[in-house]
Amino acid sequence: MTENLKPQDAAQVAGLLTWAGAEEKTVELVGAGSKAGLGRPIATDYRLDLSALEDVSLYEPEELVLRAGAATPLGQIQAMLAQQRQQLAFEPPDFGDLYQTDLDQTIGGVLSANMAGPRRIKAGAARDHFLGVEGISGRGEAFKSGGRVVKNVTGYDLCKLMAGSFGTLAALTEVTVKVLPAPEKVRTVLLFGQDDAAAIMAMSQAAGSPHEISALAHLPQAVAARSGVPYVSGAGAAVTAVRIEGPAPSAAHRTAALRQQWGLLGEVEELHGHNSAALWREIANVAPLLPDLDAVIWRLSVTPSLGAGIMAAALAAGGEGYYDWAGGLLWLSLAPSEDGGTALVRGALRGPEAGHATLMRGPDALRERIDVFQPSMPALAALSARIKNSFDPHRILNPGRMYGAY
């Protein structure tokens, strides 16, 4: 049985990791544990519970900056921001239903996974809002990088390195993030009845327009029918959605212009505050739209213009999916099988230049057998191995979570 260790501060984290490295004892880093189903299953000697590293040490709304312990619950941070009409602009998704857990994810976990929601096309990824980090490497050495503003980031930008490392390089103890004002008004324009290729073309045209789009998605008919938003579920057709945000007069003007543009393609409708927020929450969180708890779920980041072809090839043996990021992000739900659809999904990409695929949910046995994350090209894999050696030479931190070697 894995023994649980619960340090109370960064100094204790450093002491425990120094000891673990010297004894070559493996350690699983856990904030809340909300993403235990993401990545390859691991077995370690110890479980390092970082939940005590929980507090907001600095929040300056006028400076748009927040610093908190890495295990601070995301819900606590979002509630604090909402009181000041601010937000995390990268719109972190909540995969609680996807992984069948009610655990609140932590700010450190969100940044370590580098997950962003529908606003990614406008605001960027989580790493683009990650200003500063303090952590402890697998050597037991404390380090600090970045600061309270982007111009303070000198030397190596370790924030970008930690984002997407899934705890394989260091235990994060404190993070600093950039926050932004929440929009005054939110509107969503719906276009009905487009097939996948036509929808991607319509989204591409909208993205290239002067309307300052903040999200674009396409739901095939079967997926749209599961939405909790009546205008979407009752459409009886595929639904393509575009979100517009900003000051009220500007949002109203841009929404009217987009409705006129899309009205030439088919029937359109408009969602306001509550329904608009509900739809984009469903799109970000995945499980409301792809609810089969036995299904294998894949996430593909692709070139938008290739999205429809890749989706069709990946679903050649059955399944369903939908598009986010104007066709650049595909969510697929496949029936369980021996390889979980790996051959079809990765074969549909036809080379690394087309994109990459991540197995987001699947049985432990499947996640042990296959590469959960897209295999790296040899040069990139060698670079990753050198970075791993620098931060965690004894391979004690979350061993095997991302790849078999680290």
| HEC per residue, 194-234 | CCHHHHHHHHHHHHCCCCCEEEEEEECHHHHCCCCCHHHHC
Parallel/antiparallel/unpaired status of strands 46-49 and 27-30 = parallel
Alpha carbon separation from 64 to 85, 109, 124, 230, 248 (Å, rounded): 11, 21, 16, 36, 22
Is 186 exposed, middle or buried, given 0-12, 13-18 or 19+ CB atoms closer than 10 A? buried
Backbone angles phi, psi at 91, to 5 degrees: 55, 65
What kind of fold does domain 296-375 have according to CATH? Alpha-Beta Plaits (3.30.70)
Rounded to the nearest 10 degrees, the angle between the axes of helix 307-314 and helix 342-349 is 160
Domain boundaries of the chain, sorted by first residue: 1-182+376-406, 185-285, 296-375
Q: pLDDT value at position 2? A: 80
Q: pLDDT value at position 75? A: 96
Q: pLDDT value at position 352? A: 67
d(CA 308, CA 207): 17
Backbone angles phi, psi at 263, to 5 degrees: -65, -20
Sheet-wide strand order for 27-30: 3-5, 46-49, 27-30
CATH architecture of 185-285: 2-Layer Sandwich (3.30)
Q: pLDDT value at position 82? A: 97
Fold identical between 1-182+376-406 and 296-375? Answer: no
Q: Determine how many CB atoms are found less than 10 A away from the CB of residue 405.
A: 11
pTM, rounded to two decimals: 0.95
Q: Classify 374 as helix, strand or coil.
A: coil
Which CATH number describes the domain made up of 1-182+376-406? 3.30.465.10
Residues of the chain with pLDDT under 70: 1, 148-155, 352, 405-406
Backbone angles phi, psi at 182, to 5 degrees: -75, 145
Q: pLDDT value at position 148? A: 66
